[in-house]
Amino acid sequence: MASGTVTSSEYISHHLTNLTFGNHPESGWGFAHSAQEAAEMGFWAINVDTMLWSVGLGIFFLWFFGKVAKTVTSDVPGNTQNFIETVIEFVDDNVKGIFHYKNPVIAPLALTIFVWIFLMNLMDLVPVDWLPYIAGQMGIHFMKVVPTTDVNATGGMAISVFALIVYYSIKQKGVGGFMKELSFQPLPKIFLPFNLFLEVVGLLAKPVSLALRLFGNMYAGEMIFILIALLPFWIQWVLSVPWAIFHILIITLQAFIFMVLTIVYLAMAHDDH
């Protein structure tokens, strides 16, 4: 879409701008018309495209898995059931290998994280201009189809995982136990302030690293696709095909990493020192 009417930087920034709905201090409630306007809306705005795509994909995941779960049989499984079972067993093996406590939440949580993030990442493989172009034809100016390239999406999940870490830490060890864990290690008790500082930073680093790792990977990958799309159309495949094939690995790996780290963090929250 590197046509003469838009410059490269306009094209790139257009592709990296969410469809934001909020209250602009000057023009009131409505969709932001530029990245700058979206930024001016502050916190009380919502990225409609991120929400729609992520919730849509989440519903697709639950619909697809739920459909199989409804007709699931312990006899000879069909093709779909086989596929679902493979995914579930993969997740279950990972959870059983890392998480040694009894908690009915962890495995479904891991499955949701893995499949949902995978599906959201998968949107990255849809050619970068298709969906924004269709949206543009329908009068929607901005459309970012990969929710995981929005730090709000990855951040939302990371915050939820952080909440679970804190919840299970307190539930397993009590407030006192959790505090003790934060203040009495790794150094002896006299270094309490230092320990507390170190551990709190370590604790907060968990959700931040979760969110930014996924966001950074997907954002960078999307950026490469956008840059490739700036090339003349007849040469794009030379770069976009290898990158897309490589990206299949990235999107699966990132979903997997997010899932495994969540399990690891929650297992650590259950560990009593």
Binding site for other proteins (CB under 8 A): 18, 20, 22, 38-39, 41-47, 50-51, 54-55, 58, 61-62, 65-66, 68-70, 72-75, 84-85, 88-89, 92, 104-105, 107-109, 111-112, 116, 147, 150-153, 155-157, 159-160, 163, 215, 219
Show the tokens assigned to 40: 């001016």
DSSP H or E stretch at residue 45: strand 45-47
- Tell me how far, at minimum, the Cβ of 251 lies from other proteins, in Å: 18
Among 121, 169, 217, 240, the one annotated catalytic? 217
Catalytic residue status for 18: no
Contact 181, 196 (CB under 8 A): no
User: Of these residues, 8, 27, 82, 209, which one is catalytic?
Assistant: 209
Nearer to other proteins by C-beta: 84 or 229? 84
Minimum CB separation from other proteins for residue 151, in Å?
5
> Which ranges constitute the DSSP H helices of 71-138?
79-98, 106-122, 130-137
Shorter beta-carbon distance to other proteins: residue 46 or 267: 46
**CA nearest to 262, candidates 200, 195, 213:** 213
**Nearest 5°: phi and psi at 230?**
-80, -15
CB of 208 to other proteins, least distance (A): 12
Nearest distance from C-beta of residue 88 to other proteins, angstroms: 5
Nearer to other proteins, 35 or 196 (CB): 35
Known active-site residue 217: yes
> What residues contact 1, with CB distance under 8 A and at least 6 apart?
11, 129, 133, 229
Q: Which of 34, 103, 152, 213 is catalytic?
A: 213
Which run of H or of E encompasses 160?
helix 151-183
**Which residues, 6 or more positions from 35, have their beta carbon under 8 angstroms from its beta carbon?**
13, 16, 17
Nearest-5° Cα angle at 213, 62 to 37: 85
* Residue 225 vs 258, nearer CB to other proteins: 258
Active site residue 209: yes
Q: Which of 223, 245, 214, 59 is nearest to 148 (CA)?
A: 214
- In the complex, the smallest distance separating the C-beta of residue 138 from other proteins, rounded to whole angstroms, is 21
Q: What is the DSSP letter of 244?
A: H
Beta carbon nearer to other proteins, 11 or 258: 258
- Residues taking part in catalysis: 209, 213, 217
